[in-house]
Amino acid sequence: MVSFFFFNGLTFVILNLFIFPVENWIIVDGERSTSLIKGVELGVVEPGGCAVKRVWLVCANVRGERVVDVEVLTRVVESELWFL
C-alpha cells in the first residue's frame, strides 16, 4: 500500500509506477502491466488529509529483490476550483 500525506492546500495527486519487466507485474485499480502504469489518479487531497492506493506486485518464479519506481506528481488546487 502506498500512502501520502499533504499539508499545503488542496492538492491534486497522480502516480506513475514503473517496474523492470522480468516476470513481474504491477496491478493498480485492475490495470495490469509488466513495466509502466501511468496516470493513476488519487484525486484531490485536503490539507492534513491523506491518500492511499493499493499497489499489487506479482513476481513469478524469480527470487530476489524488486524495485518499484513511484513518481508522485502534485498540483496545488485553488480553493475556487474545488467548489466547481
Sign, CA torsion 34/39/41/46: positive
Asked whether residue 84 is assigned to any structural domain, the reply reads: no
If pLDDT is split at 50, 70 and 90, which confidence band does 10 have?
confident
Asked whether residue 83 is assigned to any structural domain, the reply reads: no
Asked whether residue 40 is assigned to any structural domain, the reply reads: yes
Q: What is the pLDDT of residue 83?
A: 41
Q: What is the pTM of this model?
A: 0.67
- Provide the domain limits for residue 48: 2-77
Asked whether residue 31 is assigned to any structural domain, the reply reads: yes
Asked whether residue 63 is assigned to any structural domain, the reply reads: yes
Question: Nearest 5°: phi and psi at 77?
Answer: -100, 135
Looking at residue 75, what DSSP letter applies?
A: E
**CA–CA separation, 41 vs 23, rounded Å?**
26
**CA–CA separation, 43 vs 12, rounded Å?**
5
Q: Say how many domains are in the chain.
A: 1
Which of 24, 25, 20, 9 shows the shortest CA–CA distance to 79?
9
Q: Which range, 6-15, 50-59, 60-69, 70-79, has the best average confidence (pLDDT)?
A: 50-59
Asked whether residue 15 is assigned to any structural domain, the reply reads: yes
